[in-house]
């Protein structure tokens, strides 16, 4: 039988090129159910949804000119979670399968290599997997309305296509931007990832954000920026202060009305320059809101897409062998990729599931891995009236987390903290 | 349960706040069992890179040895000077590369291995040249140096206190062993007895004795520390 294969989408191209022996770009979405997970049923659910979601059950292969995704040769099976979240996905693992399905007590988690999909696509996958699992386990029927897919149907073309070229603008926007301040600390020698989950009531968070005239994303970005500002002020003399910028991913599906399950996301770096003077939290909130609103519009996003798609279309680039392309991409990434922001705050928004599923699911979580050079990252998701703010770090110091969460507490938002070990034991 | 410093609510059973490290103390209340949200095991350290480098070094050394061997066979039809080079390379490998394959190489295990390897190398040189100096000189001298080295390393690793006594004692032992070495030199090469070793014994014993005295008299030790700290 002919093997199915997929070209990498435009945003996915960079991830295989920049992966390192001890690091690559992986994120994780998990659903916590009310009962313990039955591995056998989970494996059946995985097998059931495989034909409907072919772009997820893939492995990373190397062509002569490009990397590509090929359907995984073997069954993808659920593994018992054996270590801390987002353990390194090695080269040999990517060659077998680019996703990892894990279960631990009553939680199903899927860890994705970023070339496969982005957060939104990953969530659709997890929701469908969980829905199928609940159907098999409890014998209920879940209506097949978006995001739950009809497993009998063929995957739609619009789901598996790369949407970037379709929406590329005619003129590219310059990527030039000021370099931001960089967080740093003592690296954990064995690659351990500390995870701190802050749980806050969504209504309270939304209310506080509204009182600052901001959305939840802009508000959290502002509080984070203020925390980073304080860390920087402690370390640097005034004349050496650098801009504090937060990287915020923008889901392009909403802007362009797409439904692809591949990557379709671009990031914005929003922030302020502390050299200009002291900003209060309200002023930072205004900056964030204004910058996100003015940048996240289809016209400007199309121009940003054009800057990314342009090189991929150039004939000279296309005929360059992969072993030449990879170092070039790495150099470009090193020069620009991670120097324009201090931390990511990826907000998935509020997850809604069909009412038939609701009573079985306790919570959802979304965790992104750390970047190559900056040690902290943050991801946010809301479900069932609780917002889960996950802060992951590869260093020992928890100063940023402490500042961030105590600021929320000081603003009158109650925060409950969970952590994954070492510290706090 | 809340952290008194950050004001965040904590999980049951944690002993300190994960954010600021403030200990959680609730007087008159038993600590509850903590429910772990993630698996407590950790994956193995990533050793790929290290093994890659070690493998590369090993391959290069093997290839070099092989080349020398073939060269020698071509030129002379037997192993001549290349034997020194090949065994020398093996010696370097055993001393420098072999311990690195292990996660925590124990010196007490690897120093005897190194000494055995050095003895083997010397034996080869001796046999190749027909010198006859191995058993009566090289072997005992290597053994003595090795024994002193192992003793020193073991004392330093396993005895935490009394470093000054250990160092002083070592100096005296090294001085005494010089005399033994000269004795073997005399037996093997018929050199006159006890010439250079007397100087060694005097100097080493003096230094050793001084260190031991300094260890016995704390004010002297403090004075020395004040004057000579680095």
Interface predicted TM-score (ipTM) of this complex, two decimals: 0.76
Residue A424, pLDDT score: 38
Whether B224 shows a pLDDT value over 80: the answer reads no
Neighbours of A299 (CB within 10 A): 9
Q: How far apart are CA B43 and CA A7, in angstroms?
A: 32
Q: Please state, rounded to an integer, the average pLDDT across all residues of chain A.
A: 92
- A15-50 pLDDT, tens digit per residue, is 999 988 888 899 999 999 999 999 999 999 999 999
Nearest CA in chain B to A196: B18
> A241: closest CA among A269, A268, A276, A270?
A276
Domains of chain A plus CATH, in order, are 5-149 (3.30.559.10), 174-350+368-419 (3.30.559.30)
Record: contact B11-A22, CB cut-off 8 A: no
Mean pLDDT of A208-220: 95
Residue A425, pLDDT score: 37
- A216-245 pLDDT, tens digit per residue, is 999 999 999 999 999 999 998 888 999 999
Neighbours of A269 (CB within 10 A): 19
Residue A175, pLDDT score: 85
Sheet with A26-33, edge to edge strand ranges: A79-80, A99-104, A107-113, A26-33, A361-368
- B141-153 pLDDT, tens digit per residue, is 999 999 999 999 9
Q: Which residues of A touch B15 (CB under 8 A)?
A: 424-425
- A332-341 pLDDT, tens digit per residue, is 888 877 888 9
- B114-165 pLDDT, tens digit per residue, is 999 999 999 998 888 887 888 888 999 999 999 999 999 999 888 888 888 9
Residue B230, pLDDT score: 58
Residue A422, pLDDT score: 64
Mean pLDDT of A155-181: 91
Distance to chain A for B165, nearest Cα, Å:
36
How many angstroms separate the Cα of B96 from the Cα of each of A48, B67, B90, B109?
55, 21, 10, 14
Please, are residues A353 and A135 in contact by the beta-carbon 8 Å criterion?
no
Nearest CA in chain A to B20: A402
How many angstroms separate the Cα of A338 from the Cα of each of A329, A342, A393, B19, B188?
13, 8, 16, 26, 70
Whether B49 shows a pLDDT value over 60: the answer reads yes
Distance to chain A for B51, nearest Cα, Å:
13
Instruction: Tell me the whole-structure pTM to 2 decimals.
Output: 0.73
Whether B174 shows a pLDDT value over 70: the answer reads yes
Residue A63, pLDDT score: 86
Please indicate whether residue A146 or residue A323 has the higher confidence score (pLDDT).
A323
Query: pLDDT band at residue A214, thresholds of 50, 70 and 90?
Result: very high
Query: pLDDT band at residue B193, thresholds of 50, 70 and 90?
Result: confident
- A68-99 pLDDT, tens digit per residue, is 999 998 889 999 988 888 888 988 899 999 99
Distance to chain A for B121, nearest Cα, Å:
39
Whether B90 shows a pLDDT value over 60: the answer reads yes
- A140-155 pLDDT, tens digit per residue, is 999 988 789 888 889 9
Residue with tokens 């030129």: B75
List the single residue in B3, B9, B20 with the smallest CB-CB distance to A414: B9
Record: contact B42-A195, CB cut-off 8 A: no
In degrees, to the nearest 5, what angle opens at C-alpha A111 toward C-alphas A105 and A116?
150
- A261-281 pLDDT, tens digit per residue, is 999 999 999 999 999 999 999
Rounded-to-5 percentages of helix, strand, coil across chain A: 35, 25, 40
């Amino acid at each position: 039988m002919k093997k199915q294969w997929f070209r990498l989408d435009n945003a996915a191209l960079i991830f295989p090129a920049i992966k390192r022996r001890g690091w690559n770009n992986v994120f994780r979405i998990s659903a916590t159910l009310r009962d313990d997970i039955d591995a056998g049923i989970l494996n059946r659910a995985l097998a059931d949804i495989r034909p409907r979601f072919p772009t997820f059950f893939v492995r990373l292969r190397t062509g002569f000119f490009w990397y590509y995704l090929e359907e995984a040769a073997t069954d993808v099976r659920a593994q018992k979670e054996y270590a801390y979240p987002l353990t390194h996905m090695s080269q040999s693992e990517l060659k077998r399968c680019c996703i990892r399905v894990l279960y631990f007590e009553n939680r199903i988690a899927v860890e994705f290599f970023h070339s496969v999909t982005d957060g939104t696509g990953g969530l659709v996958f997890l929701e469908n997997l969980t829905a199928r699992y609940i159907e098999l386990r409890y014998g209920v029927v879940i209506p097949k309305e978006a995001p739950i897919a009809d497993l009998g149907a063929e995957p739609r073309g619009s789901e598996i296509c790369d949407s970037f070229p379709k929406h590329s603008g005619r003129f590219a926007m310059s990527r030039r931007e000021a370099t931001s301040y960089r967080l740093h600390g003592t690296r954990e020698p064995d690659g351990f990832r500390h995870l701190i989950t802050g749980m806050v009531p969504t209504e309270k968070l939304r209310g506080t954000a509204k009182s600052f005239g901001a959305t939840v994303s802009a508000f959290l970005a502002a509080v984070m920026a203020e925390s980073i500002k304080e860390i920087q002020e402690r370390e640097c003399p005034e004349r050496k202060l650098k801009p504090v910028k937060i990287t915020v991913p923008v889901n392009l599906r909403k802007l362009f009305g797409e439904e692809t399950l591949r990557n379709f996301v671009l990031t914005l770096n929003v922030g302020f320059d502390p050299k200009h003077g002291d900003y209060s939290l309200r002023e930072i909130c205004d900056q964030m809101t204004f910058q996100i609103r003015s940048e996240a519009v289809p016209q400007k996003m199309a121009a940003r897409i054009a800057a990314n798609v342009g090189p991929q279309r150039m004939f000279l680039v296309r005929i360059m062998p992969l072993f030449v392309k990879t170092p070039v991409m790495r150099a470009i990434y090193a020069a620009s990729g991670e120097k324009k922001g201090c931390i990511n705050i990826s907000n998935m928004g509020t997850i809604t599931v069909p009412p038939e599923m609701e009573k079985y699911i306790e919570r959802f979580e979304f965790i992104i891995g750390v970047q190559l050079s900056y040690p902290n990252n943050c991801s946010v998701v809301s479900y069932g009236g609780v917002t889960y703010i996950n802060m992951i770090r590869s260093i020992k110091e928890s100063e940023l987390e402490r500042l961030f969460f105590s600021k929320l507490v000081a603003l009158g938002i109650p925060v409950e903290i969970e952590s994954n070990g070492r510290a706090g034991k | 349960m809340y952290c008194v410093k950050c004001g965040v609510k904590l999980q049951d059973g944690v002993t300190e706040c994960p954010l600021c490290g403030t200990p959680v103390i609730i007087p008159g209340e038993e600590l509850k069992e903590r429910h772990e949200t993630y698996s407590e095991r950790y994956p193995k350290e990533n050793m790929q890179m290290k093994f890659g480098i070690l493998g590369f070094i090993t391959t290069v050394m093997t290839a070099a040895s092989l080349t020398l061997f073939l060269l020698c066979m071509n030129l002379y039809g037997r192993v001549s000077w290349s034997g020194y080079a090949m065994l020398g390379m093996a010696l370097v490998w055993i001393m420098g590369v072999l311990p690195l394959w292990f996660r925590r190489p124990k010196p007490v295990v690897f120093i005897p291995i190194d000494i055995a390897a050095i003895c083997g190398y010397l034996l080869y040189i001796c046999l190749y040249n027909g010198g006859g100096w191995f058993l009566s000189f090289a072997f005992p001298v290597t053994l003595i140096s090795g024994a002193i080295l192992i003793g020193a390393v073991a004392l330093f690793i396993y005895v935490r206190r009394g470093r000054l006594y250990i160092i002083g004692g070592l100096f005296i032992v090294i001085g005494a062993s010089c005399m033994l070495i000269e004795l073997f030199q005399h037996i093997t090469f018929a050199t006159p007895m006890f010439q250079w070793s007397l100087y060694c014994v005097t100097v080493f014993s003096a230094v050793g004795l001084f260190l031991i005295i300094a260890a016995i008299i704390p004010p002297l030790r403090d004075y020395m520390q004040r004057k000579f700290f680095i």
